[in-house]
Structure 1
């Protein structure tokens, strides 16, 4: 689990609430159901209009990555690739057929299948690079959904503020109703700016970071498989792939 995510969320919320209290305000003054309905409902509604269903589903799936990102062990993958290279040198590329049948990673399995089929190294590189790019763009589209929501939320918060002020103007003759309208106006703005900058935009950026890490991992596997197809020495392959683990 990525502990920085819950720590960051808690820290941001606590500091704001403490600051509100130090200013003499009350936490209850930040709770406003109409403002929440306008901002949250409007933001998610706008995101539904923007994104095709497959992209929206991917965005929802990737939202869990901010807490539990997919785990990849580059060193373990390098060790497997070196093992595949040794098998190919001893038994030929057809010797990898049994390995391909037991490989759990679909991307690596596809690469092994191309090796077993005797595809040319450049052909393997082209096919796998196309898949790497396609997967990266699709996963980034999910992150961009949250990024777009982070752009909509403040604007919809302003919309909520204007609606609250309209309510105020309609009830200038009834002082008892003025407070509720003014509260909705200001709290809607807080909700819009807050959810954008504390939740949505950080989510988008963290998901992007995870996607880039996944892409880098696939590129490493791709390079290893192409190196096997080119008949490189296992030691040279290992040295080359270690470059992907450098921090």
Structure 2
């Protein structure tokens, strides 16, 4: 949806420019320097070098859907709980080594190592807090950039107006000069409202989804260690989901069995 939105937005914008006249009128290197370059320089002032460096790895999350499906996660936990009741917690060690999610694998391994439930909870909650902080910085960069871009567009417009007013003795140049002055505002609005602010929103949504999955993993790990009945565990984890998801399941929607879902993830 992210790619579709960007492509559709840019396509519609370019189509409107072509239908409205000469699209070359909307190309200005000085305007790009002020709007893109100036706003990026302000972002560099606002954040550290490491934050800027890490954001390029964060942005790919807006274009991928590699998060584990919550229903699949519930099925996996049901299977792990049944295996733990049959064979004991030590039997889950091999499963921990094969899990793709480092957070999930870490929690299972600590459970297998017989750590106290409160200690497991504290360690995993600390991991979640720092992960949320990293995510906040990631989408905060784009949100800040989106807020700055229109302001630098306005700065570029002011620069263009000053240059235009300096040529009042040449009326024939006023029209082109005014058009050039307004282009920076156009660039700033496009950057903010078509790219950066929506991108920040998508990254924030991805962060919330990942935090929910990790909270489900945390509760599931503690429940397995406490010997909770697998069916009760599944119902507890399903309370994290929206009611519509539960209704789909109750209506008979086909889902993978716990064992099949677990095998697919590893």
TM-score normalised per structure 2 = 0.82
Unaligned runs of 5+ in 2: 246-266
Q: CA deviation at 1:175?
A: 5.0
CA distance in 1, matches of 2:26, 2:225: 62
CA distance in 1, matches of 2:51, 2:238: 34
1:113-162 Cα shifts (integer Å, max 9, x gaps): 21022122222112111211211121121001000001100100011011
Instruction: Give CA deviations for 1:196-227 in whole Å, capped at 9, x if unaligned.
Output: 01111011001111111111111111110010
- The correspondence of residues 80-229 of structure 1 with structure 2, limited to 5 A, is 80-174=76-170, 178-229=174-225
Q: Secondary structure at the match of 1:244?
A: coil
Shift of 1:70: 3.0
Q: Give the distance between the partners of 1:240 and 1:184, measured in 2 at CA.
A: 60
SS in 2 for 1:171: coil
Match in the other structure for 1:71 = 67
Residue equivalent to 2:9:
12
User: Which 5+ residue runs of structure 1 have no aligned equivalent?
Assistant: none
2:238 matches 1:242: yes
> What's the C-alpha RMSD, in Å, of the aligned pairs?
2.2
Q: How far apart are 1:32 and its partner, in Å?
A: 1.4
Shift of the 172–132 alpha-carbon distance from structure 1 to 2, 3 Å rule, reads same
Task: Provide the rounded CA distance (Å) in 1 between the counterparts of 2:64 and 2:94.
Answer: 32
Q: Distance in 2 between matches of 1:100 and 1:5?
A: 33
CA distance in 2, matches of 1:160, 1:74: 47
Which residue of 2 is the match for residue 231 of structure 1? 227
Q: How far does residue 37 in structure 1 lie from its aligned partner after superposition?
A: 1.6
Q: Distance in 1 between matches of 2:110 and 2:186?
A: 54
Contact kept, 8 Å, 1:160 with 1:184, in 2: the verdict is: no
Q: Which moved more, 1:164-173 or 1:153-162?
A: 164-173
Contact persistence 1:120–1:229 (CA under 8 A) = no
Equivalent-residue separation in structure 1 for 2:211 and 2:151 (angstroms): 33
**3-state SS, counterpart of residue 97 of structure 2:** helix
